[in-house]
Each structure stands twice: as structure tokens, then as C-alpha cells.
Amino acid sequence: MLRGFILVVHVLLAFVIVALVLLQRGKGAEAGAGFGSGASGTVFGARGTSTLFSRLTAVFAALFFATSLTLAYVGTRSVAEPTTVLERAAQAAAAPTAPAQPSAPSGAAAPTAPAPEAPPSKSP
């Protein structure tokens, strides 16, 4: 249950990050207009302020990283009880079979059943 919820959140975060990255303008977007106008030094330079999209991308990337680590941790833990029919069947198949009859204590003699008598034979 928890693993499925975290996985859904993880996939949604991935889609949001992709959308945010595609919506952002790159640093070189003004490169064509920058040549010859005297502002070409700022075309590929560092940005002074970060936009809302870049801040949201950083937040969602941190959440994506956290869900990745959580999924890795949850995936390595063993589940105590099988939750599906197939897991129960696999667990039953892997378990050793119990002996058919319990063994008698070593000092006591095992009770024996009387031998069956042979049916009377018919003479021809």
C-alpha cells in the first residue's frame, strides 16, 4: 500500500519536473537578438535572480530525490506476510514439507499394527 502510494507520487513528480523544464526559457534564448546590441555579454552569463519555474524545479527535484531514496529503502525491506495469492503459493512451495508421521522417542518402541491376514485361497 505504502509502496504504491510513493510510486504514484514519484511518477507524478517526474511528469511535473519534465513539464517545468520544458516551460523554462534557456540562457541562450536571446542569443540571436543579443549580437550587435551591446548586451551580448549577458546572453550566456549567470542569472542574478531565479525565476519561479527554476525554484519550483529545484523543489520538485528534491522531492523526486527523496521519493527515490524512500522507494529504494522500502524495496529492500522484506515483507512479513504475503499479500497476494501468488506470493502465498510461492511461500508454500518453498517451505519444507512436514514428515507424514511423527517419530517416536528413541527409548520407546514404536507400536506396530497387526499384519493383515491373507484371504483364504480357493482350491480348484
**15 backbone φψ class: left, alpha, beta (φ>0; ψ -120 to 50):** alpha
Give how far the C-alpha of residue 2 lies from the chain's centroid of Cα atoms, to the nearest Å: 10
Q: Are 60 and 17 in contact (CB under 8 A)?
A: yes
State the pTM of this model. Answer: 0.51
| Residue 43 burial (10 A CB sphere; 0-12, 13-18, 19+) | middle
78 band by pLDDT with thresholds 50, 70 and 90: confident
Q: Are 94 and 82 in contact (CB under 8 A)?
A: no
The Cα–Cα gap between 123 and 18 comes to: 95
Q: For residue 44, what pLDDT is reported?
A: 55
Q: What is the pLDDT of residues 7-45, one digit of tens each?
A: 999 999 999 999 999 998 876 666 555 565 555 455 555
Q: Are 17 and 57 in contact (CB under 8 A)?
A: yes
The Cα–Cα gap between 22 and 25 comes to: 8
- The residue among 27 and 73 whose pLDDT is bigger is 73
